[in-house]
Amino acid sequence: MFSGIITDKGSVRSVEESGGSRFEFSTGFDANSIATGASICCSGVCLTVIDKGEGWFAANVSAETLVRTTLRDWGEGSAVNFEGALKMGDELGGHMVSGHVDGVATAVSVAEEGESRRIVFETPDGPDGPDGPDGLHRMIAAKGSVAVDGVSLTVNEVEDSRFGVNVIPHTLRTTTLGAIKPGDRVNLEIDILARYVARLLEGK
């Protein structure tokens, strides 16, 4: 599990496709602190470390993950948010994030709001998407939490299949959200509690 508090902003070092996809990432994490087999949240996607070295680590990415996330768009130099897995006793500064992406959302507007930035996203499925007759947005609530590219954010408002967030200057500087522009695609994970409540109400 993760908290949605990004601890490093790195980039894709290389991508190899041979019987699967192997991604190597450049990172500021100390190689000694990364264990082979450890989980690292990479812009919202939980990946397992299979190799590492000074200033980098590698992970295999399945075809399913490529289909359901933005990783299929990544290439050498793509910016990536990193967070290591939580340990018992760690401070939970954001909210509980699983690293299992629910879908790919799209930024529809970006506007300065004082020192912060208001970004509006559209959920990937709309009202008739694969997650049910009302789409993913039915599980997003104003003042609730979402993870966008692995970043824990508070939802300001929800209107149909769109939701808005306010991103503070620190987050703009230290994560990939500072470079977001209309049309960009992001990995979206809804609050895991909202998903379970929805399933209970639906009797599924």
- Give the DSSP letter of residue 86: P
> What pLDDT is stored for residue 127 in this prediction?
45
Same domain, 47 and 124: no
- Determine, yes or no, domain membership for 95: no
- Give the DSSP letter of residue 102: -
Q: Are 15 and 76 a contacting pair, CB within 8 Å?
A: yes
Amino acid at 142: A
31: CB partners within 8 A, 6+ apart: 52, 53, 54, 55, 56, 57
121: CATH = 2.40.30.20
- Determine, yes or no, domain membership for 152: yes
Same domain, 112 and 164: yes
- Determine, yes or no, domain membership for 24: yes
Q: Are 92 and 85 a contacting pair, CB within 8 Å?
A: no
State the residue range of the domain holding 16. 8-84
Q: Flag whether pLDDT at 169 surpasses 90.
A: yes
> What pLDDT is stored for residue 93 in this prediction?
73
pLDDT band at 136 (very low <50, low <70, confident <90, very high): confident
Q: Where are the alpha helices (DSSP H) in the chain?
A: 63-68, 169-174, 192-202
> What pLDDT is stored for residue 87 in this prediction?
77
For the stretch 62-102, pLDDT in tens is 999 999 999 999 999 999 999 999 877 676 777 889 999 99
Same domain, 130 and 179: yes
Same domain, 74 and 108: no
Instruction: Name the more confident of 192 and 71.
Output: 71
The domain tally of the chain equals 2
Rounded-to-integer distance, Cα 175 and Cα 83, Å: 11
Q: Flag whether pLDDT at 8 surpasses 70.
A: yes
pLDDT band at 133 (very low <50, low <70, confident <90, very high): very low
> What pLDDT is stored for residue 86 in this prediction?
82
Q: Which of 27, 37, 101 is nearest to 64 (CA)?
A: 101
Instruction: Name the more confident of 33 and 124.
Output: 33
- Determine, yes or no, domain membership for 167: yes
Same domain, 120 and 188: yes
- Determine, yes or no, domain membership for 45: yes
Same domain, 119 and 63: no
Rounded-to-integer distance, Cα 141 and Cα 62, Å: 31
Instruction: Give the rounded distance of the alpha carbon of 47 from its chain centre.
Output: 12
- Determine, yes or no, domain membership for 94: no
Assigned token pair, 79: 């910016």
pLDDT over 90 percentage in the chain: 76
